[in-house]
Amino acid sequence: MRVVISGYYGFGNTGDEAILRAIVNSMKSERPDLDIIVLSNNPAETAKMHDVKAINRMDIRSIWTTLSHSDMLISGGGGLLQDVTSFRNILYYSGIIYMAWLLKKPIMYYANGVGPINIGFNRLLVRNISNKAQVITVRDLLSKRQLDEIGVKTDVFITADPAFLLKVPEDINVEDIYEKEGIPLNNKILGISIRKWKNFDYVKEALKDFVNKVRNIEDFNIVFLPMQKNEDLRACEEISRDLERSYVIKGNYDVYEVLGIVSKFDYMIGMRLHAMIFSVLNGVPVIGISYDPKIDNFFNIIGQQYLNHIDEVNSERLLNQFLDVVMHKNEISRCLKRKAEELRQKAMENNKIAFSVLERQRWLHD
């Protein structure tokens, strides 16, 4: 059986690569002979990193040929169907789905985050294209509500982000990574995952002021974690250079290595969704800065209240939240580990649904 996977892959975004790693590993663990072909911005890197076949995501002729010889299209996971970051997202992913439909291939949305979809034409397009799918799984209730609101009739199941299936392998030497980066492990670590967004200068100053206030109470090493180097590295460096004993992870690391890096954090301040998912997987208490409804929704899912909207971030609020987190660290950590296991079980449902679609396809062919 051959599956084609479409998503935001090959762009150097650790979160999306974590999604792909989890999908590929979990599907192949159940079906080792499964042939997986990924549409990627960097096919050679994707093929090497994930041990799959990969083709250029913009080579329409090659995509058509590949889909024509496949048994199923998986679209996802991640926040593909939204028009906040770009109008082109919906056009591109809808186009791939439409090709699969023309070729009469079964289509599954795999743990998608859907919305916000603000433009009327996009809402119409997503409704029409989503109704061509055999089944849809979404990673949160907000995504299901968005699909319901625009009139999608395909069955929609709420599961969880595939990244919750990840665990740090025993052969990953995290201490070596920290040594390579020149980061001492002789002190507690406050991890920060930041990205540039509106009001960045304001957020930058709030974070610097917050770190200095924290250090008046207890000393920490600060470790900045860029989740997408071409977008996050400069933002991290702009803040880090004005802080003592502050470090920026600059090397290129595998998904499991980044998960291992986070395992050494004592606390995290996060904007990037999958940096915060990595925190939950490691039981690391996290304080969020929300720039997108998916972050608000994530905090609802994990049952945590330490969230700041990007327009309202200030150092005093961050400090008060942080002191509360420190006071309840053990309790929060236990809660996050329980929640991670609960979400891991939900994430496993994606594969059950995917294989049921594949089995139906094989039965029809037989």
Instruction: Report pLDDT for 365.
Output: 60
Instruction: Report pLDDT for 360.
Output: 82
* Listed residues 158, 185, 201: the one ending a domain: 158
Instruction: Report pLDDT for 84.
Output: 84
Q: Both 201 and 336 in a single domain?
A: yes
pLDDT band at 356; cut points 50, 70, 90 = very high
* pLDDT tens per residue across span 52-104: 999 999 999 999 999 999 999 999 889 999 998 777 899 999 999 999 999 99
* Listed residues 129, 158, 187: the one ending a domain: 158
Question: Does 199 score more than 90 pLDDT?
Answer: no
Token reading at 318: 């961050």
Q: Both 107 and 178 in a single domain?
A: no
* pLDDT tens per residue across span 157-169: 999 999 999 998 8
Instruction: Flag whether 365 is in a domain.
Output: no
Give the residue-averaged pLDDT of 330-343: 98
pLDDT band at 30; cut points 50, 70, 90 = very high
Instruction: Flag whether 355 is in a domain.
Output: no
Instruction: Flag whether 348 is in a domain.
Output: no
Cα(44)–Cα(58) distance, rounded to whole angstroms? 14
Cα(270)–Cα(276) distance, rounded to whole angstroms? 6
Q: Both 223 and 279 in a single domain?
A: yes
Instruction: Report pLDDT for 359.
Output: 87
Q: Both 247 and 293 in a single domain?
A: yes
Query: Which residues, 6 or more positions from 99, have their beta carbon under 8 angstroms from its beta carbon?
Result: 63, 64, 67
> Does residue 167 sit in helix, strand or coil?
coil
Instruction: Flag whether 322 is in a domain.
Output: yes
Q: Both 131 and 233 in a single domain?
A: no
Question: Does 296 score more than 70 pLDDT?
Answer: yes
Question: Does 146 score more than 70 pLDDT?
Answer: yes
pLDDT-above-70 percentage for the chain:
99
Q: Both 179 and 239 in a single domain?
A: yes
Under 8 Å between Cβ of 271 and 289 = yes
Q: Both 93 and 238 in a single domain?
A: no
pLDDT band at 328; cut points 50, 70, 90 = very high
Instruction: Flag whether 142 is in a domain.
Output: yes
Instruction: Flag whether 357 is in a domain.
Output: no
Instruction: Flag whether 187 is in a domain.
Output: yes
Instruction: Flag whether 140 is in a domain.
Output: yes
Q: Both 126 and 204 in a single domain?
A: no
CATH number of residue 319's parent domain = 3.40.50.2000
Q: Both 10 and 97 in a single domain?
A: yes
- List, in sequence order, the alpha helices (H) in the chain: 14-30, 43-50, 60-68, 88-102, 120-130, 141-150, 174-180, 200-215, 229-240, 255-263, 273-281, 293-302, 315-327, 329-365
Q: Both 221 and 328 in a single domain?
A: yes
- Prediction pTM value: 0.96
CATH number of residue 70's parent domain = 3.40.50.11930
Give the residue-averaged pLDDT of 182-192: 96
* pLDDT tens per residue across span 226-272: 999 999 999 999 999 999 999 999 999 999 999 999 999 999 999 99
Instruction: Report pLDDT for 280.
Output: 98
Instruction: Report pLDDT for 366.
Output: 53
* Listed residues 103, 126, 158: the one ending a domain: 158
Number of structural domains found in the chain = 2
Under 8 Å between Cβ of 20 and 110 = no
Domain with 54 in it: 2-158
Q: Both 325 and 256 in a single domain?
A: yes
